[in-house]
Every structure is written in structure tokens, then in C-alpha cells.
């Protein structure tokens, strides 16, 4: 039985109850994080909590928790749920009011919920052990505050569903200028002539922690140039490689976009080098 954390209590998931008046339920009024953990070792814990604090500040939810408090919750969930390969889902909603009114109430306590769920083993840098993604595309129809990791994910859910219904693993999104933004639950990259290129971290994308770690490691290692700049969809279709990243998946090669092969349709050498560098360095974050 999975043990979850809810407002200071560790309880079986089936016993975890929140009010239907919780603003997370009524408005999607909350912030969340997903932190991967392999054999009890979390990847990117500090930047994940930093991003959550930025998100909470951006939406005016006051939760005065230290990194250590979050670390204790994560460590307890890992211990109670049998370490292994887990993602820690951390969720703070503005809390429950006794009425439905859009303005932020001043006198309610945030709801803090966290649980652990199993994820696949950490990907290995080996072309024969990874399955390349086939992805769909869609005009990005979400809001203009995608840098906030809000629990209001219906826009992302609808975009993911678009690809899912077509049998795709993800959906790449593009803006009104035909520029790549990200994917419905991942950041996106192209590789052209050995250069890794990814859209800049602005309000059109969530600045992924995997993205941050990957770009930092690549720049420090130095053999693969990195650019952050607008990427057109023509560049996507013309790329040598396309990748997506997220915390539970690390760096995933994309071999097909809208049914068209990327490059020669095989998993690329730059992916192999990048995932090798990521695997070697990720636990330093
Ligand atoms: N998704 N972009 C979006 C829209 C995301 O939802 C995510 C993560 C990312 C990658 O961020 P990170 O590298 O920090 O995981 C980019 C999470 C995992 C989710 O919603 O399940």
C-alpha cells in the first residue's frame, strides 16, 4: 500500500482526503514538482525546490518551508515506499475556503500533498536499450505563463491526448510564429551539425530541471556546443536529431515527427554522447 504525505500526516493513499472546496480542486490553484529518485538518491532536489518556491511566489501562495523540510518529506516517502526507482510528486495548493470566490483568500492554510510513484529504471546511454519516441505536433494553445509549474494542466493534458490518440508518445508544440516551444510534458531540442539547440527559457516553456542539468553538464564537458534560441518547425523536420527531456525520462531520442523520420530515422550519436554525459553527472545536482 502506498503511503502518502498530506498536511503533516503519513497515511495510506486510500485514507488521504481533501475538501472539495480546496482551490486546487476548484481552480487548479496550486504548484507542483516531480523529483526523480534512484535507489534513494534524488536528482536535482535543490533546483526542483527552488523552482517550486519561485512558482509559489509567482502565484502568491505563502508556504514557509525550508529545503530541509521538503527533504525530510521526500526521504520519508522514499523510505516508506521501498526506495527503488521513484518519482516524488510534491503539490501545494492554496488551500480550502468555505466559498468559491476567485480572489486569493487571506486566511487559509495551503494544502500540502506528496506521494511517491514508481518510474522505470534510469535510462542508460545505449542505443540498443532505448526506444525512440514517435511524436505528433500541435499549435501550442496553452497560456502565456508556462514558466509556472501550475497544477492547472488541462492545456497540457489536451495536448498530450492529441498525440496519444494518434499512437504518439508525445506532442511537440509550436507557437503562432511556427516556432517550437516544448512538448506537452517535456522540453524539446534539435541537433543540427553537431549543435544542440533548444528554445530559450521564457514564458512559453517550463524551464525543466532536466534541461538545466543537461545544458549545464554539456557546457562544462565542452565537446557538444549548445544554443538557446528560437527553433522553427522547419528546423525540427530538417534536424539531424530531435530529443525531449523530463525528470522521469532524462534525454529521450525522437525518431519520427508527424510520421516523418528525423535524420535517418535512427537514434543519433549526439544523443548517445549527451545521455552518457547526463548519466555520469546528474547526481551532482
Ligand atoms: N513534466 N515542460 C513541461 C510542460 C513539463 O510538464 C515538464 C515536466 C517539463 C520537464 O521538466 P523537468 O525536467 O523539470 O521534469 C517540461 C512533469 C515531469 C510532469 O508533469 O509529470
Query: What tens digit of pLDDT does each residue of 33-80 get?
Result: 999 999 999 999 999 999 999 999 999 999 999 999 999 999 999 999
- What average pLDDT does the segment 171-190 reach? 98
149 has catalytic annotation: yes
Give the helix ranges, DSSP H, for 118-228: 154-165, 209-221
Burial class (CB in 10 A: 0-12, 13-18, 19+), 60: exposed
Cell reading at 138? 500541435
- 146 CA: nearest ligand 1 atom: 4
- 182 CA: nearest ligand 1 atom: 2
Helix-strand-coil split of the chain, %, nearest 5: 30, 30, 40
In the block, which residue shows the cell 535543490?
46
Catalytic residue among 134, 149, 249, 282: 149
Answer yes or no: are the C-beta atoms of 269 and 253 closer than 8 Å: no
Residue nearest to atom 4 of ligand 1 (CA): 185
Query: Which of 206, 250, 278 gets mutated to test ligand 1 (max ligand atoms within 8 A of its CB)?
Result: 206
Q: Report the separation in Å between the CA atom of 208 and the middle of ligand 1, taken as the mean of its atom positions.
A: 6
- What average pLDDT does the segment 206-231 reach? 98
Catalytic residue among 33, 182, 241, 250: 182
- What average pLDDT does the segment 163-188 reach? 98
Asked if residue 1 has pLDDT above 80, the reply is no
Angle subtended at Cα 170 by Cα 46 and Cα 229, rounded to the nearest 5 degrees: 65
Residue nearest to atom 11 of ligand 1 (CA): 208
3-class secondary-structure state, position 152: coil
Residue nearest to atom 20 of ligand 1 (CA): 185
- Residue 243 bridge partners (DSSP): 189, 253
Provide the CA 257 distance to its chain's centre, in angstroms: 20
Residue nearest to atom 6 of ligand 1 (CA): 185
206 has catalytic annotation: yes
Percent of the chain with pLDDT over 70: 100
3-class secondary-structure state, position 13: helix
> CA-CA distance, 175 to 140, in Å (whole number)?
5
Cell reading at 183? 512538448
Q: Report the separation in Å between the CA atom of 99 and the middle of ligand 1, taken as the mean of its atom positions.
A: 32
260 has catalytic annotation: no
Q: Strands 85-93 and 133-139: what pairing?
A: unpaired
Query: Which of 87, 185, 212 gets mutated to test ligand 1 (max ligand atoms within 8 A of its CB)?
Result: 185
- Around 250, how many Cα atoms within 13 Å sit in the side-chain half-sphere? 26
Cell reading at 127? 542505443
- What average pLDDT does the segment 159-174 reach? 98
220 has catalytic annotation: no
Ligand 1 site residues (CB inside 6 A) read: 34, 156, 182, 185-187, 206, 208-211, 245-248
**56-60, 83-87, 242-246, 259-263: range with lowest mean pLDDT:** 83-87
Q: What is the pLDDT of residues 71-110, one digit of tens each?
A: 999 999 999 999 899 999 999 999 999 999 999 999 999 9
Query: What pTM does this model have?
Result: 0.97
Give the helix ranges, DSSP H, for the chain: 23-27, 45-58, 67-80, 154-165, 209-221, 233-237, 269-281
The whole-number pLDDT of residue 270 equals 98
Q: What residues contact 99, with CB distance under 8 A and at least 6 apart? A: 21
The whole-number pLDDT of residue 83 equals 80
Amino acid at each position: 500500500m502506498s503511503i502518502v504525505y498530506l498536511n503533516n500526516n503519513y497515511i495510506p493513499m486510500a485514507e488521504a482526503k481533501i475538501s472539495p472546496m480546496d482551490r486546487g480542486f476548484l481552480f487548479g490553484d496550486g504548484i507542483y514538482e516531480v523529483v526523480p529518485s534512484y535507489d534513494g538518491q534524488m536528482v536535482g532536489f535543490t533546483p526542483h525546490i527552488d523552482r517550486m518556491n519561485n512558482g509559489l511566489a509567482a502565484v502568491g501562495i505563502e508556504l514557509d518551508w525550508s529545503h530541509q523540510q521538503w527533504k525530510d518529506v521526500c526521504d520519508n516517502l522514499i523510505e516508506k515506499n521501498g526506495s527503488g526507482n521513484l518519482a516524488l510528486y510534491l503539490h501545494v495548493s492554496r488551500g480550502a475556503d468555505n466559498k468559491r470566490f476567485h480572489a486569493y483568500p487571506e486566511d487559509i492554510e495551503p494544502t500540502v500533498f506528496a506521494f511517491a510513484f514508481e518510474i522505470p529504471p534510469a535510462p542508460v546511454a545505449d542505443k540498443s536499450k532505448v526506444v525512440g519516441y514517435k511524436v505528433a505536433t500541435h499549435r501550442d494553445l496553452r497560456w502565456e505563463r508556462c514558466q509556472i509549474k501550475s497544477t492547472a494542466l488541462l492545456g497540457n493534458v489536451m495536448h498530450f491526448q492529441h498525440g496519444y490518440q494518434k499512437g504518439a508518445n508525445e506532442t511537440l508544440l509550436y507557437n503562432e510564429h511556427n516556432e517550437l516551444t516544448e512538448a506537452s510534458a517535456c522540453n524539446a531540442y534539435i541537433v543540427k551539425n553537431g549543435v544542440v539547440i533548444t528554445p530559450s527559457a521564457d514564458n512559453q516553456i517550463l524551464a525543466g530541471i532536466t534541461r538545466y542539468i543537461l545544458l549545464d553538464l554539456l557546457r562544462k564537458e565542452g565537446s557538444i556546443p549548445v544554443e538557446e534560441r528560437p527553433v522553427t518547425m522547419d528546423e525540427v523536420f530538417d534536424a539531424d536529431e530531435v530529443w525531449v527531456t523530463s525528470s522521469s525520462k532524462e534525454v529521450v531520442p525522437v525518431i519520427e515527427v508527424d510520421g516523418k523520420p528525423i535524420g535517418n530515422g535512427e537514434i543519433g550519436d549526439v544523443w548517445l554522447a549527451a545521455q552518457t554525459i547526463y548519466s555520469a553527472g546528474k547526481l551532482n545536482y
